[in-house]
């Protein structure tokens, strides 16, 4: 089927906020006396906030936490994260990303964000890229995080396109799995570029312009 749209993961593809996630989770974990390092942090990529918290709590040695207590911890992390996000500026998006998105749109493709983050709109506003996308599917409108394909299927729905006509751009294995589970092609960049399930392997973001040519 002819490609009609591109759906982009946000963190690690359009912007890079991994360091902010790490700092925010680290602050919460240290306060709780939980061991948390870069190795554990790598397991959180593409994972929802509550699922990420469960991974961190694997090393928690205190009394069992109630659901409200867990939700409070997740919100504590998010408050720290949003304070860090507030420091972002348009300079946090490369010219290559901006120009590639503009060129794809100029060629008639629809563009969407498909991110597990509940802060996607906030981030896009801070980097002045909100208008670059025709639709946003994020953690606020899904019940299941990647590798479940829900976030990408919702994005295709919002764009009014068949999933088979969409290419997902991802930097995480779980994201590539989600794209394939949703019947979409997957273009992998960064860590996921070596994943055998990816249909396209990108060395740099602008390699997207070679797809379909």
- State the catalytic residues: 9, 11
Q: In whole angstroms, what is the distance from residue 57 CA to residue 70 CA?
A: 9
Q: In whole angstroms, what is the distance from residue 171 CA to residue 178 CA?
A: 12
| Phi and psi angles of residue 25, each rounded to the nearest 5 degrees, phi first | -65, -40
Q: Indicate if the alpha-carbon torsion angle 93, 10, 120, 48 is positive or negative.
A: negative
Which has the closest alpha carbon to 149: 112, 197, 116?
Answer: 116
Distances (CA, A) of 44 to 3, 52, 83, 113: 30, 5, 20, 19
Whether the Cβ atoms of residue 121 and residue 130 lie closer than 8 Å to each other: yes
């Amino acid at each position: 089927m002819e490609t009609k749209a591109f759906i982009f993961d946000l963190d690690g593809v359009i912007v890079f906020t991994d360091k902010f996630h790490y700092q925010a989770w680290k602050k919460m974990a240290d306060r709780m006396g939980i061991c948390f390092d870069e190795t554990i942090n790598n397991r959180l990529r593409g994972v929802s906030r509550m699922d990420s918290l469960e991974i961190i709590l694997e090393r928690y040695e205190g009394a069992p936490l109630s659901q409200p207590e867990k939700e409070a911890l997740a919100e504590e992390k998010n408050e720290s994260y949003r304070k860090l996000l507030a420091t972002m500026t348009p300079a946090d998006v490369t010219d290559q990303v901006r120009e590639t998105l503009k060129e794809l749109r100029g060629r008639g493709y629809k563009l969407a964000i498909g991110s597990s983050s509940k802060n996607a709109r906030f981030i896009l506003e801070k980097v002045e890229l909100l208008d670059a996308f025709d639709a946003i599917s994020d953690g606020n409108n899904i019940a299941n995080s990647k590798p479940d394909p829900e976030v990408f299927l919702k994005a295709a729905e919002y764009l009014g396109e068949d999933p088979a006509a969409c290419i997902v751009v991802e930097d995480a294995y779980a994201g590539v799995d989600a794209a394939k589970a949703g019947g979409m092609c997957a273009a992998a960049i960064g860590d996921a570029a070596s994943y055998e399930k990816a249909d396209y392997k990108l060395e740099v973001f602008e390699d997207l312009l070679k797809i379909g040519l």
